[in-house]
Amino acid sequence: MDFFNYRAGRLLAEEVEVERIASEVGTPVYVYSKATLQDHLRKVHAAYQTLETTVCFSVKACGNVSILKLMAAEGSGFDIVSGGELYRVLQAGADPSKVVYAGVGKTDREIVEALDAGIGYFNIESEEELTNLIRLAKAHVASGRAKPKAALRVNPDVDYKTHVFLTTGKKETKFGVDIERAVAVFDAYADNPSVDLCALHVHLGTGGKTIDPYVEAVEKALVLVDRLREKGHRVEALDLGGGYGADYETDTVPSAAEYAAGIVPLLRGRDLKLILEPGKSICANTGILVTRVLYTKQGGSKRFVIIDAAMNDLIRPSLYDAFHFIWPVRVEPRFEPAVRSKELHIEGSETVDVVGPICEGADFLAKDRPIPHVERGDLMAVFTAGAYGFTMSSNYNARRRAAEVLVDADAFRVIRRRESYEDLVALER
């Protein structure tokens, strides 16, 4: 699952005691494990090795340049959704030809920047976006550069059975075009001299816990591929998006190999390149958020543990009612968790709300959660925080964003310093 484990009652990130990191760097702090990141990515590569596959890590999940450099060194491409993410991956030394560009609202400037960089595919979300890309690409092609490639995002109308905010493959979402409309789009634009429309993109959402929706989506996409090819259209690639589950609780989602077992047989012999866009399945368990207890208090029947991390540091529980396993960094050996689960209740635990210092009722990381007794000054770890943790953090309440640390075996280094008060106003005039 990852390389965060308890030993003699103390939490280690690989071979580094988390207490040591907190002592030297302060809290709150995001701590990432290099070994976990590499292990998860390598398992995806291995699972799909029988197909021509490009793995494009979703930058929105975890965008620190040091993390992206590790991914690029492992042969990863990147899935981006903004000009800022393009800049990040280029700073990380990414191969632009292994970059796919999604997002429903690409600006003209962002499109031109991506054209100049020579990215692999634009994932097209609407006909109007496609016509705009054609307009902007004319000068690019006229200068002697190769036609940019585009993949049409289609909605297979598959229910991913996750939080409504995390579902992107239904007809009612803002993403892509109806699968029934896709043929007409190819008929109108496939032979355009400025853009090579030659691929399909499908993305179901995020947070799913079964391979079944992916199997259904691939089956529907292949019917469309066959129909397009029968009409003479070239379809060279299928971008199967991301959204593959991560183990927020122990062993609750399929492994990369299990996803592949359902998907690979459907694509074998179909003369299609496969593009994958995993994000949280690669990096969620790669990181933890370490925080310190500021105070404890009793409010009626509730016991509150007030910590120095808040919804601005990790907004997923407030936004999605997402579960993150939370446990003290130092415990008696009998409290070492054998699994990470909502249902874990070790005798002697106390049921508490874990809350932050922000002036919002929504500022919580856990409610009614059984944990070992903690007191002021104790450290706690919020697990599976490597995805959509720091990348969604903010300066709400003029709070400084957390530091980020990368652990490599028995050593660690700061890969993003903690913001200063000066940083908070540096761009203001």
| CATH for 189 | 3.20.20.10
Backbone angles phi, psi at 267, to 5 degrees: -100, -15
CB–CB of 110/86 below 8 Å?
Answer: yes
Three-state SS string over 102-119 comes to: CCCCCCHHHHHHHHHHCC
Active-site residue, selected from the candidate residues 56, 62, 283, 359: 359
In this prediction, residue 167 carries a pLDDT of 43
Quickly tell me which residue has 């947070």 as its tokens.
207
Quickly tell me which residue has 């890309």 as its tokens.
133
Which residues have C-beta within 8 Å of that of residue 271, sequence separation ≥ 6?
A: none
Task: Please name which of 70, 164, 148, 76 lies closest in space to residue 112, comparing C-alpha atoms.
Answer: 148
- Look at residues 268, 283, 298 and tell me which one is the last residue of a structural domain: 283
**How many domains does the chain contain in total?**
2
Please report, as a single letter, which amino acid is at residue 390: F
* 56 labelled catalytic: no
The model scores a pTM over 0.75 = yes
Using one digit for the tens of pLDDT, what is the confidence trace for 86-118?
999 999 999 999 999 999 999 999 999 999 999
Same domain, 251 and 303: no
Same domain, 291 and 222: no
Alpha-carbon gap, residue 102 to 121, rounded angstroms = 9
Alpha-carbon gap, residue 172 to 237, rounded angstroms = 25
Same domain, 179 and 220: yes
Neighbours of 178 (CB within 10 A): 12
In this prediction, residue 161 carries a pLDDT of 52
In this prediction, residue 166 carries a pLDDT of 41
Same domain, 288 and 235: no
In this prediction, residue 170 carries a pLDDT of 44
- Look at residues 224, 258, 283 and tell me which one is the last residue of a structural domain: 283
Same domain, 56 and 105: yes
Same domain, 337 and 242: no
Strands 287-299 and 302-307: antiparallel
The tens place of each residue's pLDDT in the chain, 429 residues long, gives 899 999 999 999 999 999 999 999 999 999 999 999 999 999 999 999 999 999 999 999 999 999 999 999 999 999 999 999 999 999 999 999 999 999 999 999 999 999 999 999 999 999 999 999 999 999 999 999 999 999 999 988 776 554 343 444 444 555 678 888 899 999 999 999 999 999 999 988 666 778 988 898 899 999 999 999 999 999 999 999 878 889 999 988 999 999 999 999 999 999 999 999 999 999 999 999 999 999 999 988 899 999 999 999 999 999 989 999 999 999 999 999 999 999 899 999 999 999 999 999 999 999 999 999 999 999 999 999 999 999 999 999 999 999 999 999 999 999 999 999 999 999 999
In this prediction, residue 165 carries a pLDDT of 36
Same domain, 111 and 183: yes
Alpha-carbon gap, residue 68 to 53, rounded angstroms = 19
Helices (H) and strands (E) in the chain, counts: 12, 21
Same domain, 278 and 311: no
CB–CB of 34/411 below 8 Å?
Answer: no
Which residue range forms the structural domain that includes residue 377? 4-32+284-425
Same domain, 300 and 278: no
- Look at residues 248, 283, 318 and tell me which one is the last residue of a structural domain: 283
**DSSP single-letter state for residue 347:** T
Which residues have C-beta within 8 Å of that of residue 406, sequence separation ≥ 6?
A: 32, 34, 66, 67, 412, 413, 415
Same domain, 85 and 111: yes
For 244-289, give the DSSP string: ----SSTT-S--HHHHHHHHHHHHTTS--EEEE---HHHHGGGEEE
Measured on CA atoms in the order 16, 21, 23, 29, is the torsion positive or negative?
negative
In this prediction, residue 155 carries a pLDDT of 87
Same domain, 26 and 41: no
In this prediction, residue 179 carries a pLDDT of 82
List of long-range contacts for 251-257, beta carbons under 8 Å, 24+ apart: 251/1, 251/339, 252/209, 253/208, 253/209, 253/281, 254/209, 254/210, 254/211, 255/43, 255/47, 256/40, 256/43, 256/44, 256/46, 256/47, 256/281, 257/43, 257/46, 257/47
Same domain, 311 and 394: yes
296: CATH: 2.40.37.10
Quickly tell me which residue has 């591929």 as its tokens.
225
CB–CB of 171/208 below 8 Å?
Answer: no
